[in-house]
């Protein structure tokens, strides 16, 4: 789909898009059917205007809270096997920059800034939460490889709810985000980068149409058989593992929640350099099905109905 953001509208046009409250009085802006956080819109616009991927680039795409941090550590380790120890000193988000934040974000007014300390040897790896419906034209233009990770909608919602309640302003001053409000907004699609279902389907369709360029992986399949999927990622990224299982095991182990969340850098209460949230908020529980400990049966039923309507009806039997 062509994106309808006028390339000359680089700054200050947030007001011209529909707005809606998603958490207390906080607003999201709707662009091409997706609800985006106003703070990130200038960066997103710059990505859509300026970013020209190289054919060798790897783009990790995801809806928030579906496994981005995990996949960052995996993609980094798979493509930089001799530097796997970097994960001990660096939060995965600082090894792989977000396009719309670290590369083209607010602090990079020219839209061309790549942080000097970012490891951007070829292949360059970037991440993004931008929906395929907005970024697809850019991605297709270069033949770069895209890895998309998704996660059960209920676990994604619960993970986001916890995460938002760790944001600096929310934790210290504002009222906590109520879970029922989060459910309501998730189902309405008025959720950062939402609707979740459209985000997932955009990349899923792309992976079906262009399987050599877009790999679709789920959090749950990675959890249940990480070794198989790490091998699959290696093949897809053009750096396959040999017969030796040890290398695969080392990658899986080094990127496991248990190991990663134990590093001082990831246990830190310090605020991340790019967003006012502590580094340790990217590592909470990492379990499949945790929503059952939080969501009311009526909420589960409501989301499951939506999942059937949005996914199952169209042949994607996932998410319940
Ligand atoms: P982001 O979109 O803000 O970057 P993202 O990394 O996608 O967040 O999601 C965080 C979730 O991944 C957390 O899930 P939880 O709230 O259900 O616990 C976090 O615990 C989980 N996570 C982080 N690192 C790993 C890992 N190495 N393995 C598995 N899950 C992980």
How high is the pLDDT of residue 99? 97
Atom of ligand 1 nearest to the CA of 129: 2
Mutate which of 37, 63, 70 for ligand 1 pocket (most atoms within 8 A of beta carbon): 70
Give the Cα separation of 59 and 180 in Å (integer).
34
User: For 2-29, what is the mean pLDDT?
Assistant: 67
Name residues contacting ligand 1 (CB within 6 A).
62, 64-70, 73, 155, 159, 162, 255-257, 260, 282-286, 290
CATH architecture of 14-314: 3-Layer(aba) Sandwich (3.40)
Can you point out the beta strands (E) in 32-153?
34-36, 58-62, 125-128, 145-150
pLDDT, tens digit (0-9, with 9 covering 90-100), for 96-107: 999 999 999 975
Nearest partner of 279 among 258, 255, 294, 262, judged by Cα: 262
Residue 161: pLDDT over 80 = yes
pTM, rounded to two decimals: 0.93
Q: Where are the domains of the chain?
A: 14-314
Quick one: which of 33, 261, 61, 294 has its CA closest to 160?
A: 294
Average pLDDT of span 262-277: 93
pLDDT digits (tens, 9 = 90+) for 107-144: 554 444 555 445 566 799 999 999 999 999 999 999 99
Is 129 designated active site? yes
pLDDT of 11: 45
C-alpha–C-alpha distance, residues 282 and 293, integer Å: 19
Of ligand 1's listed atoms, the one at least distance from the Cα of 155 is: 17
- Angle 226-236/68-79 helices, nearest 10 degrees? 60
- Percent of the residues in the chain that have a pLDDT greater than 90, as a whole number: 82
Catalytic residue selected from 102, 129, 162, 229: 129
């Amino acid at each position: 789909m062509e994106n309808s953001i006028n390339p000359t509208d680089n700054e200050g046009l947030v007001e011209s898009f529909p707005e809606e409250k998603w958490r207390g009085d906080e607003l999201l802006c709707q662009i091409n059917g997706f609800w985006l956080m106003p703070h990130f819109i200038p960066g997103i616009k710059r990505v859509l205007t300026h970013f020209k991927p190289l054919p060798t680039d790897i783009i990790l795409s995801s809806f928030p809270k579906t496994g981005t941090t995990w996949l960052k550590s995996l993609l980094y380790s798979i493509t930089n096997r001799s530097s796997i120890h970097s994960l001990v000193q660096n939060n995965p988000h600082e090894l792989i920059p977000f396009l719309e934040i670290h590369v083209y974000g607010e602090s990079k007014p020219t839209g061309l800034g790549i942080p000097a300390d970012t490891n951007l040897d070829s292949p360059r790896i970037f991440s993004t939460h931008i929906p395929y419906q907005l970024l697809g034209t850019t991605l297709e233009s270069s033949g770069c490889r895209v890895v998309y990770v998704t996660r059960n909608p209920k676990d994604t919602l619960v993970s986001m709810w916890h995460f938002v309640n760790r944001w600096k302003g929310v934790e210290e001053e504002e009222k906590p985000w109520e879970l029922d409000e989060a459910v309501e907004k998730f189902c309405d699609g008025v959720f950062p980068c939402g609707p979740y279902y459209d985000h997932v389907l955009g990349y899923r369709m792309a992976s079906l149409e262009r399987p050599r360029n877009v790999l679709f992986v789920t959090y749950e399949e990675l959890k249940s058989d990480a070794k198989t999927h790490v091998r699959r990622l290696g093949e897809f990224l053009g750096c396959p593992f040999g017969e030796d299982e040890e290398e695969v095991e080392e990658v899986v182990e080094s990127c496991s929640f248990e190991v990663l969340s134990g590093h001082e850098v990831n246990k830190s209460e310090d605020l991340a350099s790019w967003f006012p949230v502590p580094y340790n908020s990217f590592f909470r529980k990492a379990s499949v099905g945790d929503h059952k400990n939080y969501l009311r049966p009526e909420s589960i039923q409501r989301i499951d109905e939506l999942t059937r309507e949005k996914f199952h009806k169209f042949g994607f039997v996932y998410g319940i």
